[in-house]
Amino acid sequence: MYSAHPMITEIDISFLHRAVRLAVKGHGTVEPNPMVGCIITNKEGEIVGEGFHEKFGEAHAEVNALTMAGESACGGTAYVTLEPCSHHGKTPPCSQALLDSGIARVVIGAVDPHKEANGGAVILRDHGIDVEIVNDAVCSDIIAPFLQKNNTGLPWITCKWAQTSDGNIETSKGDSPWISCKESQQLVHEERGCVDAIVVGVGTVIADNPTLTVRGATKYRTPVRVVIDPALRTPLHSNVLNGDAPTLIAHVEGADTTAFCGHEVFALPINNGVMNLKPLFRHLSKAYNATNVLAEGGATLFEHIFSQNLANELWIFTAAHRSILPPRVNMNTLVDSLTTTLIDEQPSGVDSVTRLLVTPLIP
Ligand code: AOF
Ligand code: ZN
């Protein structure tokens, strides 16, 4: 038995987590909507329907799962990672679709904070359906970017980097230019194809001349390339200006942007001598409808993002080897200065990949 709630069993939780694995298949195509998954079991507890919200503006998870289940849904249970919607949005309400199916029980992973769409749980209960709200951590984690955007007007900011085992993200003479292995680089390209923006500091542009495009992976989205370049030092022949994807150069107020004509420029305000990144992220959320942003370095950019309390998640690729020279900025120490929760740790080729959620500091 699941001890937190006597009516919810371990089987319920395992079906919800199976629905989470479906939900995340929508990453890259459903945003700015939340990722949602649904499993339908029949009266005997056998899976008869599975579905997820596949594309923004199209059918919600419950409708896809109910379509697969057909009449077998009658008397069964629906497991939904997010509270079924109650509103006529781009599609009719899922709460009504569940009522029409004759489902007897609905297990909800997380409540929907969206004021126009929520309330489905109450509607279902009012119609005599047995509704359980689990408040499951995994179901909540997958809607975190949606919540962030709705509640704060900021995108979800994931800081991604590759480091040596001693926390160095910079390569020096004698080091290989690649810290992480091919498998890890592939994962990054897959994620790039699902996010709305990739942000780097000008130091990285000058040192590595990255292209910051999606290569060798499905391009569900074309992320805008953003360079934090206070004094406009981006070389005009840089790969980030090659026209393969849009580029935004963020500089400090008053800089002469004439040379960057044809690219978007954004003036960053200075507060107490420090460039304030929040207005830039707000702009990405508004102008690009950005839900997910990948910050790809370097160390100085991460220091600014961390000190301004803007990081939501860390995605760290750690190689097995140490660096030849000691790190200028030790990323292991920098991470230790934050309050984080480990959500995943996996091997990727010869690397180890770690995902951490960052607990924001109370300002
Ligand atoms: C559900 N099931 O699979 C999803 C839900 O713009 P619309 O009409 O597609 O509605 C989007 C809103 O519906 C979204 O903001 C969120 O509150 C909810 N998403 N609800 O019952 C789903 N994706
Ligand atoms: Zn819905």
Pocket test for ligand 1, best of 24, 27, 33 (most atoms within 8 A of CB): 33
Q: What is the pLDDT of residue 199?
A: 98
82: Cβ below 6 Å to ligand 1?
yes
Rounded Cα–Cα distance for residues 297 and 304 (Å): 11
Cβ contacts of 359 within 8 Å, gap of 6 or more:
338, 339, 340, 341
Q: Specify the ligand 1 atom closest to the Cα of 146.
A: 15
Burial call 328-349: b when 16+ CB within 10 Å, e when fewer: eebbeebbeebebeeeeeeebb
For the beta carbon of residue 229, count every other beta carbon within 10 angstroms: 23
Q: What is the pLDDT of residue 6?
A: 63
Q: What is the pLDDT of residue 5?
A: 65
CA-closest residue to ligand 1 atom 4: 60
Q: What is the pLDDT of residue 1?
A: 39
CATH superfamily of domain region 153-358:
Dihydrofolate Reductase, subunit A (3.40.430.10)
- Cβ-in-10-Å burial (0-12, 13-18, 19+) of 88 comes to exposed
User: Where in the chain are all domains bearing CATH 3.40.430.10?
Assistant: 153-358
Q: What is the pLDDT of residue 2?
A: 45
Inter-axis angle of helices 10-23 and 61-69, nearest 10: 110
Rounded Cα–Cα distance for residues 134 and 288 (Å): 34
247: Cβ below 6 Å to ligand 1?
no
Q: What is the pLDDT of residue 311?
A: 98
**Of the CATH numbers 3.50.50.60, 3.40.50.11540, 3.90.1170.40, 3.40.140.10, which one belongs to the domain with range 10-144?**
3.40.140.10
**Element spanning 52, H or E:** strand 47-52
Give the Å distance between the CA of 288 and the centre of ligand 2.
Answer: 24
Residue 60: closest CA among 42, 79, 84, 40: 84
Q: Specify the ligand 1 atom closest to the Cα of 114.
A: 17
114: Cβ below 6 Å to ligand 1?
yes
Q: What is the pLDDT of residue 90?
A: 85
Which residues are known to be catalytic?
Answer: 62
Strand partners, 353: 317, 346
Q: What is the pLDDT of residue 202?
A: 97
Residues with CB in 5 Å of ion ligand 2: 60, 85, 94
Contact 279, 268 (CB under 8 A): yes
State which residues of the chain have pLDDT below 50.
Answer: 1-3
User: Where in the chain are all domains bearing CATH 3.40.140.10?
Assistant: 10-144
Give the Å distance between the CA of 85 and the centre of ligand 1.
Answer: 6
Pocket test for ligand 1, best of 30, 38, 58, 85 (most atoms within 8 A of CB): 85
